[in-house]
Amino acid sequence: MIPRSVDNSNGPLRGRTRRAVLLEHFDTSGTLRYALLGALLVLLLVLPSLLGTNYLIRVAVQAGFYIILALGLNIVVGYCGLLDLGYVAFYAIGAYTYAFLASPHFGLHLPFWAILPLAAAFPAVLGVILGTPTLRLRGDYLAIVTLGFGEMIRLLLNNMDRVTNGPKGISNIDPISLAGYELRSPRQFYYLVLFFVVVFVLAISRLVYSRVGRAWAAVREDEEAARAMGLNTHSLKLRAFASGAAFAGVAGCLFAGFQGFASPESFTFGESVIIFCMITLGGMGSIPGVIVGAVTLVVLPEILRPIAEYRMLIYGLLLIVMMVTRPQGLWPSRQRSRELLERGEA
Amino acid sequence: MEIFAQQLVNGLVLGSLYALVALGYTMVYGLLQLFNFAHGDLFMAGGYIAVFILSALGTTLASPGIVVFVVVALAFLAAGAGSALLGLATERFAYRPIANAPRIAQLISVLGVSIVLQNVAMLVGGRRNRVFPTLFPEGKFALGDVQITYIQVFIIAASLILMVGLYLFVNRTLFGKTILATRENYDAARLMGIDVRRVVQLTFVLGPALGGLAGVMFGMYYGTVFFTMGFVSGIKAFTAAVVGGIGSITGAMLGGLLLGLLESFGAGYLSKLTGGLMGPEYRDIFAFAVLIAVLVFKPSGLLGERVARRA
């Protein structure tokens, strides 16, 4: 047993750091919490004006995409404890769904609101199809299957030239238009992404404490025990997998509408790794943690442009160092951090 | 028929390489139930080490035969030793500190090692493919209609020797048998006085050493190394280990050969079978499909006794 900064005595601080106790205090004092959240929302609403340049607003939009992706992967990995390394495949499917249905490629120009449900549903259905047989497997087998699946999707997009236009990808994708109003500037887009982020954060924070959310935690902590308690663990895992996939699909749809093009090279294994790093850095299973992780890993490379070459190297080291020293992440959820710090039987 | 025999030889070569790499996955997995993500990149590291040494020495085929022989042998030794050292470092810094942590943490940690190795190779060796110097006599001989190059013979023979050597080491020597004992029952082995930490280190050395040698042979065969070669080859070698039955050493050898043959025949016949719809470029997709199919329908593999769901 390696001594940790966590107090293991049976005193009033048992199992919690001082900081955790402080946070808990913040959590319980409702008014302050809502005041802080309100202030944050106001800040986010005026952020484009504060940022000023289009370049910075674009970075903020990127951060928004990654927050959605990380929130989705967090459902799979953080809440349900499933190791999905091919997550980016669902992002790709969402993006190509929009690209196929709203571009000159097939001559289809469906409206955004018609495509959005499809872009969420396709990846979810595919997630169910892939997950039905594979989610019965042990965790690390699942990691490999999803990794193989992610690569398969990318290779298919790359090779099926007649359908996907191969490595060149699909360009001239329609900009997203809302009620006849086309979103063309990053600033307009920022508010659309912000809207989705807020909706998803609210939905997930309700979901965690719902029956399904608590069941997910049970599956993650001890699958056998969860089954013994009468939970249908397989269907629960499928639901987590499919919800995560749907999130990625929505992010992909927004991404394609924002970029105006979609090509296989945006959806490499490296992307999956980056999203993975985000939730690992921030803290698996914690919504604020995941958001902090996503924003950090989007903003950091922009600041570190001069040493961009070393970016992935730094991410790799980050993963190792985090796992060895602080597996619960920077801003952990209290429950998840207790689990990750639990030593001995794994 | 001609194509068949030719693809058979190609498949055997490819399969030998997969088998060598698969051994590393299967040994670590058998012992720790950990998928060592970094293993494919240790294979890549072997290829890179050889390229650096060979280009630094600047030997060419024109040099006297004995010099070429010594230089190539040196490259092999250095690659094997280098990969083994990196494997040991992986164990020391990315696995041992969290040996008791949940497996998800261990997986993420070795995934980190994999990313680090790839990027170090990219930063040191450049983004583009590195040419592997030709230092092997390029001759070939004909066996009926089939052309077999010397290098193919060499790879098949060398892999065979290495695999038989490993098999004998594990099954016949006392030190090797400690691996089997620890795999069988970790706690019981420790109670019998086996230094299980040594055993874990040993598997993290043996596997990567074989992988590193395979990396050199891969470079010789294809005439090039690249920093992402460990990723795809690694997944395929893992597939081979799963097909053979993860944890089983003979299974990994068998699975490797099988996957190599499958892929080679796939590349040869895929476009014929599908009427030109799928060309040889679909063979990677093919390999992943095999992996998913095996994991779904027979996760214990050909020779594996263990059930997939063993906790």
Residue A318 with chain B: CB contacts under 8 Å:
112
Position B296 scores a pLDDT of 75
Among candidates B101, B291, B295 on the partner chain, residue whose Cβ is nearest the Cβ of A327: B101
Position A10 scores a pLDDT of 45
Q: Does A320 touch chain B (CB under 8 A)?
A: yes
Position A19 scores a pLDDT of 57
ipTM of the complex: 0.84
Is the Cβ pair A319, B109 closer than 8 Å?
yes
Shortest CA distance from B100: residue in chain A: A344
pLDDT at B222 over 60: yes
What percentage of chain A exceeds 70 in pLDDT?
A: 87
Among candidates B103, B232, B282 on the partner chain, residue whose Cβ is nearest the Cβ of A140: B103
Residue A20 domain flag: no
Position A28 scores a pLDDT of 52
Shortest CA distance from B109: residue in chain A: A320
The mean predicted confidence, pLDDT, of chain A is: 83
Q: Does A90 touch chain B (CB under 8 A)?
A: no
Q: What is the pLDDT of residues A36-95, one digit of tens each?
A: 888 888 888 888 888 878 888 999 999 999 999 999 999 998 888 888 888 999 999 999
pLDDT band, residue B265 (cuts 50/70/90): confident
A277 SS3 class: helix
What residue has token string 């969290």?
A: B98
Residue A74 domain flag: yes
Q: Does A346 touch chain B (CB under 8 A)?
A: yes
Which of A2-16, A187-201, B90-104 is the least confident region? Answer: A2-16
Residue B100 with chain A: CB contacts under 8 Å:
343-344, 346
Which of B113-117, B138-142, B218-222, B280-284 is the least confident region? Answer: B280-284
What percentage of chain B exceeds 70 in pLDDT?
A: 95
Position A15 scores a pLDDT of 52
pLDDT at A344 over 50: no
In order of A274, A300, A311, A316, B128, the CA distances from B123 in angstroms are 19, 20, 11, 14, 11
Residue A280 domain flag: no
pLDDT at B58 over 50: yes
Residue A17 domain flag: no
- A146 CA: distance to closest CA in chain B (Å): 9
B223 SS3 class: coil
CA A21 to CA B134: how far, in whole Å? 65
The beta-strand segments (E) located in A167-212 are 177-178, 181-182
Residue A195 domain flag: yes
User: Which residue range forms the structural domain that includes residue A97?
Assistant: 53-268
Q: Does B111 touch chain A (CB under 8 A)?
A: yes
Among candidates A140, A145, A346 on the partner chain, residue whose Cβ is nearest the Cβ of B101: A346
Residue A177 domain flag: yes
What percentage of chain B exceeds 90 in pLDDT?
A: 41
The residue ranking higher by pLDDT, A140 or B86, is: B86
Q: Which of residues 20-49 of B touch A (CB under 8 A)?
A: 33-35
User: Closest Cα to residue B14, out of B164, B214, B280, B288?
Assistant: B214
Among candidates B100, B109, B119 on the partner chain, residue whose Cβ is nearest the Cβ of A343: B100
Number of domains into which chain A is organized: 1
Which of A230-239, A329-338, B66-75, B260-269 is the least confident region? Answer: A329-338
Residue A264 domain flag: yes
What six digits make up the tokens of A299?
């903003």
Classify domain B2-297 at the CATH class level.
mainly alpha
Question: Where do the structural domains in chain B lie, given as residue ranges?
Answer: 2-297
CA A123 to CA A111: how far, in whole Å? 19
Is the Cβ pair B295, A138 closer than 8 Å?
no
What residue has token string 């900064």?
A: A5
Residue A38 domain flag: no
A-B C-beta contacts closer than 8 Å = 136
pLDDT at B289 over 50: yes
CA A280 to CA A247: how far, in whole Å? 18
CA A117 to CA A159: how far, in whole Å? 27
Position B308 scores a pLDDT of 41
Is the Cβ pair B103, A148 closer than 8 Å?
no
